[in-house]
Each structure stands twice: as structure tokens, then as C-alpha cells.
A and B are shown apart, each in its own frame.
Chain A
Amino acid sequence: MRRTDVGNPDYYHQVVDCQWACPAHTNVPEYIRLIAQGRFTDAYLLNRESNVFPGILGRTCDRPCEPACRRTRVDGKPVAICRLKRVAADHRDEVTHLLPRAPEKKNGKKVALIGAGPASLSVANDLMPLGYQVTIFEKFAKPGGLMRVNIPAFRLPEQVLDEEIGYVTGMGVDVRYNSPVDSLKALLDTKAFDAVFVGSGAPKGKELEIPGRHDSDQVFIGIEWLASIHFGHVESVGKRVLIIGVGNTAMDCCRSAKRLGATDVKVVARKTRKYFKASPWELEDAEEEQVDIVENREPIRFVIEHGKLVGMEFKKFESVEVNGKLEQTVAGTEILPCDTVILAIGQDNAFPFIERELMEFGKWDMPVVDKTTFMSTRPGVFFGGDAAFGPQNIIWAVEQGHQAAISIHNYCQGVPVGERPQRGMELRSTRMGLHQWSYSNDYNPAKRQKMVHVELKKRFATMSTEVEVGFSAEQTAAEVQRCLNCDVQTHFTESQCIECDACIDICPVDCLTLTPSADEAVIRQHLTAPAVNPEQALFASGALKQTGRLMIKDENVCVHCGLCAERCPTYAWDMRKFTVLIPHAGEQVAEPAATGAR
């Protein structure tokens, strides 16, 4: 096995599972430690550097970090990373004076952003401090995109949106509300802008063209219906409501229906639970609100009697799993009675305002966009968020905004857009004494804290009562201790090891092994504990002085307790805090720091 290059920032970064999984690479363990110290404002600002909207995301993030969290592999449940983010946001002090500011003197470059969703707002957030003059054209009267008009207020209070979007627009962004862009060509022809960013989202709900679709006024498209509720155009719904589809939009629809007075709400899914698109926690929340989930049904027609919607007919399936694949066989049909149907089967992109001759369009009538630079085939026109590659989520929109901002900055400064600033790293010992560390290294067996919800009756009374009450001080204090500080790395200096086995004997989770060199596949089978998770790296030292063996560490379930470093007589193991340095637009990070390895 080859010696692991820990000087490459990616190696230790991958050990911080949550941060690696976060599209914007939020420094999770560091903000959790700040919360543990009661430094909520600092935790908030650290979040903001990466994800721009900690208060919004602390309530709504799709949280890819949580399934990745190492704690899941240790005790079954991830650290409540997202909820802790909300703790930082809820308890922060005044931050306006601490936020980045736009300079008085502008750099002379002008950038237009289409849409005021999270993607465009992130671009503005990165470009304003560099002196750009940024103009946002927004169709609606308020900023936020789907975050405002589609995510219901019982999950995301309007005031949270207003505050965090205000931090961006408050830098002096020229936002033109009620100003849809009808023609990109016309906008480009004005030559008023040095670059244009398209952050117009994926605004079209998918249709379901089956008999009866257009014979009733009680059939709605989910995202349009949610927007109508937001704008106050819809204030009631039938008593019996069917939601078709089982993604996150369906979850917001069924829960909204409950608040509009529906008593019998069913979400109807084609497949079985394992294949549902909705996040598990959104499903749980819906079920808590007494929404029924019906599996194995495929809609075939709307049942209309005397011009009135009375039900929907479905094909019924029997499902079995064969070799990990779902096999469904038809087992008759069924009519479910209803008064209203909401279609929540997905979103499409639509670019009616982009003339096709301006740039190349590819599959599914989507613009051809570079995956790294986010530039279209027309130089100077960039895409990001749902508009770039179809519907995703807020945190991806933010990250793509960061990347597009780097490209726009390069483009405006005459630097090739493909020239990306390099990542760097810092590594600092956390040793404070013989057996004292600057982080809390003792493993805490606390269980994941459960979020408290407002009682059902109160919840259903209004559209805007926030369901989750947030963690209490006690819950926060317990939850922060569940974080394993995965960024505090076990750093090995091979010239110092005398092969005494102390680290191997003490490791509670049997991560470490001294073994003769062999292929990685062979080594994986012959460790103190077999390396069963192929997605987790093995660290390998070079040949050691006394026997020529290698020190191997399986990163999989290391709990970063530091006991290996405490028991090592020669300090060959040290616990070093790793910080990955990820540059945003206009930033350069230092050359990769010397690591002291080997």
C-alpha cells in the first residue's frame, strides 16, 4: 500500500464526513464547538461564510451531511447538525456590523442576475464586497424564490427569510421587483452588463395528462397551489384531498391541506416506502399530522360525476423486492373518493425568455452548462441553482452561486473561467498538556435529542405557526457533545514510532494495525478489525524503522477520542485540528501548509 498523502487537503477533508458531504462544505464540527461554548454569533458567522443562510437552512436544509455523519456509524443516529445550525441562528446577537460590506468605490463592473432565489442571492453575496454593481431582476414583489413562495411558513417563518435575505440585499444590491425578464437577448443587447447570471429556478410543475384532468377546477399542480396559498389566492380546500406523488413537495402540500381545513388527506405513491423521494423526517412530520400514506397505486383517471370531481381511479400493485430491485405486478384497480387532487410529481425547467440562438441547448431542452464553471456556451452568461441542472435544493443553489461568482469574477477580470483558486489546509496541534486537549475528547454516549413540536391543534389553526420549537438549552448542551470532532485529525509522524503497540491496544474501536505492506484489498481483510466500509479510507504510513511494517488506520469509526495520542510515548500520534481553506470569489488561500508528516 502506498503512503497516504495527508498534505493533500482532500484526505483529511474526507475524514470530516459531514463537511465533505455538505455541498458548500460548511465547517460543522467547528460551529458545533462554538455553540458548545455559547458563542452563537461566531457559530452563525462561520456558517454564513459557507452557506449564506444559516437561519433558513437550519430549518429547511436537505442535510446531506446527516446521513454522512460518522456518529451514525457509531450509535445509529447522526448528530442533529441541522437543528444545531438553527440554534446558532436563533441565539445570535446583532450581526449586521460584522457582515461583509460593499466598498464605496465600485470596480466598474456590472452584473445582472435573473431571479432573486438563493442561487442569485449567493452570487450577489460574493460579488458585492468585491465592488461589483449587481442588479437583480425578479418577477415577484419579494425576494427568496421558492424559499418564500413554496416552502410553507409553518416550516420557514417569513421573518427569518426577510432578515437573512436583507443581509445580502442590504449591501446595496439593486433589486428590481415585479420585473420579469422577457427576453435574454434584449437584456444582452442593452450591453449594460459585463456578465449575466440566470438563477430563474425550475418553475414548472409536471402535468399528469390522464382522462378527466381538465374536467374539474379541483385539480391543482402542487408548486402552483402552494404559491397560491402563499399569495392568499387559495384559502380553502375540499375535505377529502389526494396528493399524487411522494416527494418533498407532496409533503408540504398534504400538510398545507390540513391547515386549510381538509380532514382526510392521503398521499398516494406508486412505489413502496423505501423508494419514496421525500426525506424521512418530512415523512415523519406528515404522518404525525395524521396524513395517510398509500403505497402501490398508479393514477389512471379522474372520476367526474355531473361535472364534479368525486374520486380518482388507481391501478393497484403488489410489490416484491428481488435482488434489491422492486418488482410490481398489477392486482386490480381501486377508486379513492376525494374532493380535491394536488399533483406533486416533479418540476420541470422552462426558459421561455431565452432565445435558443443565444446558446446551445441540449437534452430535455436544458441549456448546456459547464459543471465546474457554470458558464453556458455563450461567454459571459452563467447559470446556477435549479436553472442549471434541474430542481435540487437550497444548499446546492448556494454552492453553485459561490462557484458561479468565482467564474463571473474571473470573466470580468479577464482571467480564464476555468482557472479556479486552489484549496488549502491548516493543521494545528490541539495538545495543551500531557493529556489535555483543546477539544472535548471524551466520548459522550448521549442519544440524539428529539425536536419538540407545537401541539397539533395549535398547529392547524394558522398557516404560519412554526411547527418545530427549536432545541432547549439542555437539548443543545447534550447534542453538541455527540459530535465526534472529526476535524481533529489523528496525525502520524512515522519517524517517531517505536512500534510499542500502545495505540493499537488502547483504541476503543480497533482502528489501528501494524502490518507488513500488501495490497490495500488484502490489508483491509487483515486488520485488528476488518475494514468493512469501502467508502472510508485507510491511512497508511511508510515503512517503519524497526520492522518495516506500516501503521494502518481505518478511518471508518474512529471516534477521535485522542487515546492513541495520549498513550503514544513518542508523540508519533498527535491530534491536530484540520481546517480546509476553500476560497470564494476574489479570495486566494495560502499554499498547502507544511504538515510535518513522515
Chain B
Amino acid sequence: MTYIAKPKVHAPTLAKNEIGLTRRDYEGTISTLCAGCGHDSITAAIIQAFWELSIPPYRVAKLSGIGCSSKTPAYFLKEAHGFNSVHGRMPALVGGANAANSDVTYIGVSGDGDSLSIGFGQMSHAVRRNVNMLYVLENNGVYGLTKGQFSAAADRGSLSKKGEANTMEPIDGCLLALTLGATFVARSFSGDKAQLVPILKAGIAHRGFAFVDVISPCVTFNDHEGSTKSYAYTREHNVEIVQANFVAPAKAITTEYEPGDATNVMLHDGSWVRLRKLDDDYDPTDRDRAYAHIREHQRKGEVVTGLLHISPDSQDLHAQLGTIETPLIELPYEQLCPGNAELQKMQSRFR
């Protein structure tokens, strides 16, 4: 861990976004993770995405569970609201917060242990309910914080640092999300910000549950030869099938690619995701095809990355339940708590 704080001094050319903030204004405290941890690169990508979208940091809530990955919200958006839940319980907290105030942008950060073991049920139900949030699963194949035990995401045959092979089948976060009806499913790599940042931006703009599984090597416990979550292995086996480009609402879509090559999906806020298929018979809006495609590559030992699936007709939890759009905090007291007379009236209906 580094003792000195990252100095405030910055490059003379450091740019400002639409609300007059620099990228440095979206940073948090200095990371206490191991030097070279993939999670830190994801933090940098999150900073970049929020800065590019010109979202005021104080309009964001960042929540997480337990793990190295779950520590990272401290390292970005220092002015955002934050909550560090018990292990695996972050999805329920976002659900509650979001129910009370849908005006805030929610980002949940979790790990493969936090999401796929102890928090398996929690994550599943947040997907199913389509809670409007960006869900970043920082996937290193191990429990980093507790010193490198295999997680449920570890591939069969992947070797531990001491050389033992994992004998169990992995749980694949993307396949899980697809089967549970996720409306936005992506996979990326901490070492590829060019791919990751646009995906995060699209995930933030997407109304509904945006699931992003990010392969994020653990330099200390899972970056050796024989690991299937190392920098080298991921670079060798990565197959990008859909390239996502985020286009802000105000901007017109220009023809950067050959027509027919790209699909444009409009999001609720008027922004676009421009999807460029790198594999001909792939359709990111077709859930079943996406599922089959991932499985097929997995059998060949490949890691499919890109924005794998998006449902243009996503209906988030509020839309499904028809709840009030105004944040509860903005409702007048009389409306929030109509009084004893109203309560009696309601109860009389059940007598």
C-alpha cells in the first residue's frame, strides 16, 4: 500500500467535462489494494465513465459488499453517497434505496465471491426484479481478500497458486444473468479500457439492471501460469464479439461503420448504444442466441467479451410496479404519512 496521497497536481492539459469538472474530481482516496490489481484499473474506468457522462458525483450512490472488489467504491467518486453492506447483501440495499429514490444513479460493485457464493440469491433477485443500477462484478476467480481460495467463478482445471487444480464447474455470471432475464449483460477485461469504458457508460444509461462481468486479475493470488484469470491468459483467449460504442443523447449518430454492420439501440434517456458485431451470426438483442454463443466459445476455452445482450424494451422495477416516480424525500409529510384516519379507513377494508 502506498503511504503518500496522490498529489493534487495535474497535467496542464487536463480537460473539464460539461459540468466543469476534471477527471481528477471523480477520484476517491488512494487505493489500498495490491499494486497491479485489476480492480484498480476498473476503478479508473469507472472514474472515466462518470466523468465523460458529466454526472455530478453527489447524484450517485455507490454500494458494495465485502471483498477487495467491494473496497473499491472508496477509491472513486469521493463525493458520492456510499454504503458498504455485509457480505453479499449489496443488491438488497440498492433495491431498497432505489425504491425510495429513483433520482440517484446507482452503482453496485461486487466480486465473484460476493456475488456468486454468499450473495448468489441476492444478485439473482436483483436481476429478476430489473433494479435500475449498474452492477459491476469484478471477477478474479478467487476470494482475494481472504487470501486466494477458489471462488465459484474459477474455471475447472484452473490451477491455484500452489498448483492444485479446481475440480468444480464454474458459475458464469453472464449466463446466470441471461437465464434470469437480465436486460443488459456485458463482459469485459480490466486491461482493456477502450472496451470497458463505453460498456460502463451504456450500463449507466440503461434503465434496468445492467450486469457487467469484468475479468480482473488478482496479481497476488491468481496471476500465475495455469490460472485462467491472469493478464496473460485473458489476453490470449479473449474473443471480442460485439463492440459497443456509447453515443450521448444530444449527439447524432454518424456512420462510422459500414451500414448493416452495426445495430443502434436507443436507451431511455435518448442516448444510443451502437453495437458493432465482430461475429456475423450474432444478435445482441436475442437472448437465446447470446446464451448459446457464450457456451460455444466457452467449450473452446475462449472468453467472450463485449456487450453480449441488451433488451431495448427493458422495464425496471418502478415501471413494473407502477410506483411513484418522485423520490420519497421530496414528498410532503402528509402524503408520506396520511394519518390515523386514513389508516383506520384502510384497515376497515380488511375486517
The reply to whether B44 and A501 form a contact with Cβ atoms under 8 Å apart is yes
Cβ-defined partner of B7 (8 Å) among A510, A561, A568: A561
The reply to whether B41 and A74 form a contact with Cβ atoms under 8 Å apart is no
The reply to whether B35 and A530 form a contact with Cβ atoms under 8 Å apart is no
B223 beta carbon closer than 8 Å to chain A:
yes
Min CB–CB distance A506 → chain B (angstroms): 6
Min CB–CB distance B7 → chain A (angstroms): 4
A499 beta carbon closer than 8 Å to chain B:
yes
The reply to whether B43 and A505 form a contact with Cβ atoms under 8 Å apart is yes
B8 CB contacts on chain A under 8 angstroms? 445, 508
B36 CB contacts on chain A under 8 angstroms? 498, 500, 502, 567-570
A106 beta carbon closer than 8 Å to chain B:
no
A284 beta carbon closer than 8 Å to chain B:
no
A563 beta carbon closer than 8 Å to chain B:
yes
Proximity string of chain B (39-83) to chain A, C-beta cutoff 8 Å, 1 when within and 0 when not:
011011000000000000000000000000000000000000000
A509 beta carbon closer than 8 Å to chain B:
yes
The reply to whether B235 and A508 form a contact with Cβ atoms under 8 Å apart is no
The reply to whether B219 and A500 form a contact with Cβ atoms under 8 Å apart is yes
B14 beta carbon closer than 8 Å to chain A:
yes
Min CB–CB distance A532 → chain B (angstroms): 6
A215 beta carbon closer than 8 Å to chain B:
no
B19 beta carbon closer than 8 Å to chain A:
no
- Near B by CB (< 8 A), chain A positions 339-383 give none
Chain B binder among A109-117, A140-148, A262-270, A435-443: A435-443
The reply to whether A559 and B2 form a contact with Cβ atoms under 8 Å apart is no
- Near B by CB (< 8 A), chain A positions 548-591 give 557, 559, 561, 563, 566-570
The reply to whether A505 and B41 form a contact with Cβ atoms under 8 Å apart is yes
A506 CB contacts on chain B under 8 angstroms? 2, 6, 40
Cβ-defined partner of B2 (8 Å) among A75, A557, A563: A563
The reply to whether B1 and A510 form a contact with Cβ atoms under 8 Å apart is no
A308 beta carbon closer than 8 Å to chain B:
no
Q: Do A498 and B35 contact each other (CB < 8 Å), given the known contacts A442-B7, A445-B9, A559-B7?
A: no
A74 CB contacts on chain B under 8 angstroms? 9
Proximity string of chain A (534-550) to chain B, C-beta cutoff 8 Å, 1 when within and 0 when not:
00000000000011000
Proximity string of chain B (4-30) to chain A, C-beta cutoff 8 Å, 1 when within and 0 when not:
101111111110000000001000000
Cβ-defined partner of A569 (8 Å) among B2, B24, B35, B235: B35
- Near A by CB (< 8 A), chain B positions 198-227 give 217, 219, 223
A73 beta carbon closer than 8 Å to chain B:
yes
- Near A by CB (< 8 A), chain B positions 170-209 give 190-191, 193
Name which residue of chain A comes closest to B38, CB basis.
A500
Whole-angstrom CA separation of A54 from B233 in the bound complex: 58
A563 CB contacts on chain B under 8 angstroms? 2, 4, 6
Residue among A506, A508, A511, A547 with most chain B CB within 10 A: A508
- Near B by CB (< 8 A), chain A positions 439-476 give 441-443, 445
Min CB–CB distance A162 → chain B (angstroms): 44
Q: Do A505 and B11 contact each other (CB < 8 Å), given the known contacts A442-B4, A500-B219?
A: no
B331 CB contacts on chain A under 8 angstroms? none
Name which residue of chain B comes closest to A567, CB basis.
B35
Tell me the interface secondary structure of chain B in the complex: loop
A593 beta carbon closer than 8 Å to chain B:
no
Cβ-defined partner of B14 (8 Å) among A502, A529, A568: A529
B278 beta carbon closer than 8 Å to chain A:
no
B143 CB contacts on chain A under 8 angstroms? none
Whole-angstrom CA separation of A546 from B232 in the bound complex: 6
B272 beta carbon closer than 8 Å to chain A:
no
A566 CB contacts on chain B under 8 angstroms? 2, 35
Whole-angstrom CA separation of A498 from B231 in the bound complex: 7
Min CB–CB distance B43 → chain A (angstroms): 7
Q: Do A443 and B7 contact each other (CB < 8 Å), given the known contacts A73-B12, A501-B41, A510-B14?
A: yes
Min CB–CB distance A371 → chain B (angstroms): 36
Cβ-defined partner of B34 (8 Å) among A499, A511, A547, A569: A569
Whole-angstrom CA separation of A500 from B3 in the bound complex: 21
A498 CB contacts on chain B under 8 angstroms? 36, 219, 223, 231-232
Name which residue of chain A comes closest to B232, CB basis.
A546
B35 CB contacts on chain A under 8 angstroms? 502, 566-569
The reply to whether B13 and A435 form a contact with Cβ atoms under 8 Å apart is no
Name which residue of chain B comes closest to A74, CB basis.
B9
Min CB–CB distance B8 → chain A (angstroms): 7
Name which residue of chain A comes closest to B219, CB basis.
A569
Name which residue of chain B comes closest to A568, CB basis.
B35
Whole-angstrom CA separation of A379 from B26 in the bound complex: 68
Whole-angstrom CA separation of A403 from B4 in the bound complex: 44
Name which residue of chain B comes closest to A530, CB basis.
B13
Cβ-defined partner of A567 (8 Å) among B2, B7, B38: B2
B223 CB contacts on chain A under 8 angstroms? 498
Whole-angstrom CA separation of A338 from B215 in the bound complex: 82
Name which residue of chain B comes closest to A572, CB basis.
B36
B191 CB contacts on chain A under 8 angstroms? 499-501
Sample of 10 further A-B pairs with CB below 8 A, known A499-B191, A501-B193, A508-B7 = A435-B1, A442-B7, A501-B41, A501-B44, A504-B44, A509-B11, A532-B12, A532-B13, A557-B12, A567-B40
5 tightest A-B CB contacts, nearest first:
A569-B36, A443-B7, A505-B44, A529-B11, A510-B11
What are 22 A-B pairs at a CB distance below 8 A?
A73-B12, A498-B232, A499-B191, A500-B190, A500-B191, A501-B44, A501-B191, A502-B37, A505-B40, A506-B2, A508-B6, A508-B8, A529-B11, A530-B13, A557-B11, A557-B12, A563-B4, A566-B35, A567-B35, A567-B36, A568-B36, A569-B35
